[in-house]
A and B are shown apart, each in its own frame.
Chain A
């Protein structure tokens, strides 16, 4: 077996780790505050690594950590090579990486390649000195009449993709906010500079990146300036560079598009390793609301095959809201008419809510949703706090409602920070149902029946069966439309998952002839179920219940 040296210790190579990993999304700002200034920081996260390790997290995903004027949540980077001072410094970051690696965990972070903040020194130099070394780093033009077929993404705030710069007396190109000028990838120096940024962080030990806004790197007249072939060429170059110098890293594409379009970013296994499968989440919600499996069955049937060394990322909730911009008209109609049009959905989902409030704090639904997340094809991404069923604060507006401090203890500031409560970057949740006195890590640690312990056990079961990450997915026809049954198979590791999407108890008959003679063993308790015969296999499911069976070769 090939090995590599990490922290001076020789370790076996694991090039497909991301296919089996459980990811955990952390807001550094909201996780733990080590210096009492009311804002979470890198050291705080480092202090909580034991907790994440205990939970079973394989890889921590960080939102942007770079220096930024924070006019777009850190996605407006003003220095790629420095850490945002309120989060800490590079030394803290290296400690975090080391701490994670020592525990066998990995760290990836968001990186915006498409644009910078207008406060970035490159942009300042570019606008003041058109003939200088950075003069060509951005997309400048004397006229706004170029690339007119490119849509405006933030239609609410921007009226054009071009903004006039009075200093240089030219227009600059920006696909997002006007304070985020797009880098000019036509310029080889820009490509080099960005590769240099990647190498900088990889040298510090980071395990990969989520590449933000990658469909927009290049522009071309007469196109919509998205997903252009040269963008893919550059990504192939990035992948090659990373693979040759830094083995076992991961590149995750951020492309909010329909799966059949996102697959382009896998290339032939030579671009990104991972991409998010966006529609899975709303379809799970829809299926449980409808009490029938077709919303999920449909999207799984429409999901294209991906190269062997690639993997989908799936999630129930994250820091963002679901956008419908990537769906086709027909799909959009479907989503709106079946999902958002439901008044309770509309009121509740607002799509900026956490899992627990979305499910009206129903424990069995939270368990069913989590079981689906952990068993459907793809690597699951947990959102910080959802493992304890944290609530949200809809009065905070925008996306802040789901970004409140992590609730560690019933003490002041939920144990998140020792600062004055008034100084917190956002108030902790204090309502009687989800407030930190009730919902916190400490109390759930003490109760073996808590959601936290349950989640940990599920992650542990998942870890013992590589098929959840590596196996193929095949849906079984079930006699009952409220039941979603599927088989995950990876060599000899065969797991049968049966999910009751209805709130009512349901019987289901499964055609398990392919497993005739085998004995299903329930994975949570190891209980042997009746042997599979030739006849349909009858199971009775409690409302919102689910079973995971290992379909062993044991003859009982």
Chain B
């Protein structure tokens, strides 16, 4: 009979969170295989290494095994082994309850360390259910209270989301979701390169049951504006500016606290040059993929050069790193920022590097632009809508910056060289992304570049 290692080559690439889809798998090996629960079901915590030739990726699995599967688990079956039928254990509340129990007990289980904040008493009787529609991780919601996110693709080291949200929570930040508990281990040398390095495997936070994504709210507002015949963005009932202003203030609170509690400094002149150089490099690559960018190339380079020539002392610090409307949740009491992981595709060192907080601001401004325009991409636009989209994006950009300035005393719009370069760089990235994935959306970032350069 087969064992897990034989079933994975077929099963792994089918998983939504598998990052190397379409690439040839040279081999799969077990880095760690721990049985954390005996009986029916049995449960194994497994780390597998996928050899992709040039590089290797590590994935985390929680495998359940039962002699036969109840109906509710049939859809997550992996295959039959000598011990029974193997399945994705995160979908089994019996299995996930054991995880919750271990977090509550701060268990040490064969090198897996379950931890929670000392002042927190976790409720362990809650039933877990997997959240649908997640890209790169798998989250389990326990009752209405907790959400446990297990990282599927494991990056060696302390997870920046855990690191930052712990630091912010300890500093009393109200604009984030504090971590309650986490799961960590020391990766074998083969995976981490450095033996003994602590690696975060998952974290648990309060579940914000009544929260919604900023993107959903913004789109609601845009839709409202589009449906009006003659009203301006500041006149319609769905006006979003007050929310944008509060979101700006929440973002500023997070940035200020990060500057206080984690490293920060002024960048030297070389760093400005290096940043600009990276932007030039990304533009070079983009020009090869998207010829439509060519007319803007010269002006783009001028904007990047202006950044390179900035005097030393540009403040840099830890930032969110991948900030957009989908990373902000509106709760009953205000905005919170989530997912301080940086761009998941980048290496850890890059994600934790110190950067200008204006990069986050630029990310959000680009997101406003997308929110204002994406409905245009989906439905052939009436001529008037383009004007309305601009109006919405400008109004909310202003409101966000006003809120940010109110909370920090410094208005992002005053650093226009930096902010513009970051916005353009992000838009160039979007141009490439859209050209590859959603060609009908390509006009959105292209139009933005044109407007930003105007």
Contact = CB atoms under 8 A, between A and B. Distances in A.
Contact of B238 (A290, A334, A477, A536): A290
A291 B237 contact: yes
A289 B238 contact: yes
A292 B242 CA distance: 13
A110 to B, nearest CB: 34
Contacts, number: 74
A300 B332 CA distance: 9
Nearest to B330: A294
Contacts of B330: 294, 481
Nearest to A475: B210
A481 B227 CA distance: 18
A342 B235 contact: yes
Contact of A480 (B208, B209, B212): B212
Nearest to B212: A481
A153 interface: no
Contact of A292 (B132, B220, B231): B220
A344 B129 contact: no
Contact of B237 (A297, A334, A342, A504): A342
B333 A298 contact: yes
Which of A294, A345, A480 is packed against the most chain B CB atoms within 10 Å? A294
Interface string B323-334: 000000010110
Contacts of B144: 477, 511
Contacts of A342: 235, 237, 239
Interface string A466-485: 00000000011111111000
Given A291-B237, A481-B220, A536-B132, A297 B332 contact: yes
A301 interface: yes
Greatest chain B CB density within 10 A among A288, A337, A344, A481 is at A481
A321 interface: no
B139 to A, nearest CB: 13
A476 to B, nearest CB: 7
A504 B333 contact: no
B247 to A, nearest CB: 13
B333 A301 contact: yes
Contacts of B211: 477
Interface in B209-265: 209-213, 216-217, 220-221, 223-224, 227, 231, 235, 237-239, 242
Contacts of A511: 144, 209
Given A291-B238, A294-B332, A481-B212, A534 B220 contact: no
Interface in B315-341: 330, 332-333
B72 interface: yes
Contact of B216 (A343, A476, A480, A503): A480
B332 A534 contact: no
Nearest to A513: B129
Contact of A503 (B127, B227, B242): B227
Interface in B116-130: 127, 129
B209 A482 contact: no
Contacts of B208: 477
B220 A343 contact: no
Interface of A is mostly: mixed
Contact of A344 (B209, B210, B213, B237): B237
B49 to A, nearest CB: 33
A292 B330 CA distance: 11
A161 interface: no
Contacts of B129: 513, 534
Contacts of A343: 235
Contacts of B216: 480-481
Contacts of B210: 297, 475-478
Given A291-B220, A292-B220, A476 B235 contact: no
Interface in B194-209: 208-209
B220 A289 contact: no
Interface string A528-546: 0000001110000000000
A338 interface: yes
A294 B334 CA distance: 9
A294 B221 CA distance: 13
A374 to B, nearest CB: 22
B132 A502 contact: no
A362 to B, nearest CB: 13
Contact of B223 (A477, A504, A534, A535): A504
A475 B227 CA distance: 29
A49 B116 CA distance: 64
A375 to B, nearest CB: 17
Contacts of B220: 290-292, 481-482, 502
Nearest to A477: B209
A476 B212 CA distance: 12
A270 B82 CA distance: 70
A534 B128 CA distance: 11
Contacts of A478: 210, 212
B235 A337 contact: no
Contacts of A337: 242
B72 A534 contact: yes
Nearest to B334: A298
Chain B CB within 10 Å, residue with most, of A288, A297, A535: A297
Contacts of B238: 289-291
A338 B242 contact: yes
Given A297-B332, A502-B220, A536-B132, A290 B237 contact: yes
A342 B240 CA distance: 12
A236 B242 CA distance: 43
Contacts of A502: 220, 223-224
B243 to A, nearest CB: 8
Contacts of A480: 212, 216
A301 B332 CA distance: 7
A335 B210 CA distance: 22
A289 B225 CA distance: 11
Given A342-B239, A482-B220, A476 B209 contact: yes
Nearest to A514: B144
Nearest to B207: A477
Interface in A291-317: 291-292, 294, 297-298, 300-301
B127 A513 contact: yes
A399 B239 CA distance: 30
B146 to A, nearest CB: 14
Contacts of B231: 344
A279 B223 CA distance: 27
Contacts of A513: 127, 129
A121 B218 CA distance: 62
A480 to B, nearest CB: 7
Interface in A452-511: 475-482, 502-504, 511
A54 B63 CA distance: 63
A38 B333 CA distance: 51
A301 B330 CA distance: 14
A501 to B, nearest CB: 9
Contact of A289 (B223, B227, B237, B332): B237
Which A-B residue pairs are the 10 nearest by beta carbons?
A289-B237, A477-B209, A481-B212, A301-B332, A477-B210, A297-B332, A481-B217, A481-B216, A291-B220, A338-B242
26 contacts: A289-B238, A290-B220, A290-B221, A291-B224, A292-B212, A294-B330, A300-B332, A301-B332, A301-B333, A338-B239, A338-B242, A342-B237, A342-B239, A344-B231, A344-B235, A344-B237, A345-B237, A475-B332, A477-B208, A480-B212, A481-B212, A481-B213, A482-B220, A502-B223, A511-B144, A535-B132
Interface of B: 72, 127, 129, 132, 144, 208-213, 216-217, 220-221, 223-224, 227, 231, 235, 237-239, 242, 330, 332-333
Interface of A: 288-292, 294, 297-298, 300-301, 334, 337-338, 342-345, 475-482, 502-504, 511, 513, 534-536
Given A481-B217, A511-B144, A513-B129, 18 more contacts: A288-B237, A289-B237, A290-B237, A291-B224, A292-B212, A292-B220, A342-B239, A475-B210, A476-B210, A477-B209, A477-B210, A480-B216, A481-B216, A481-B220, A481-B330, A503-B224, A503-B227, A534-B129
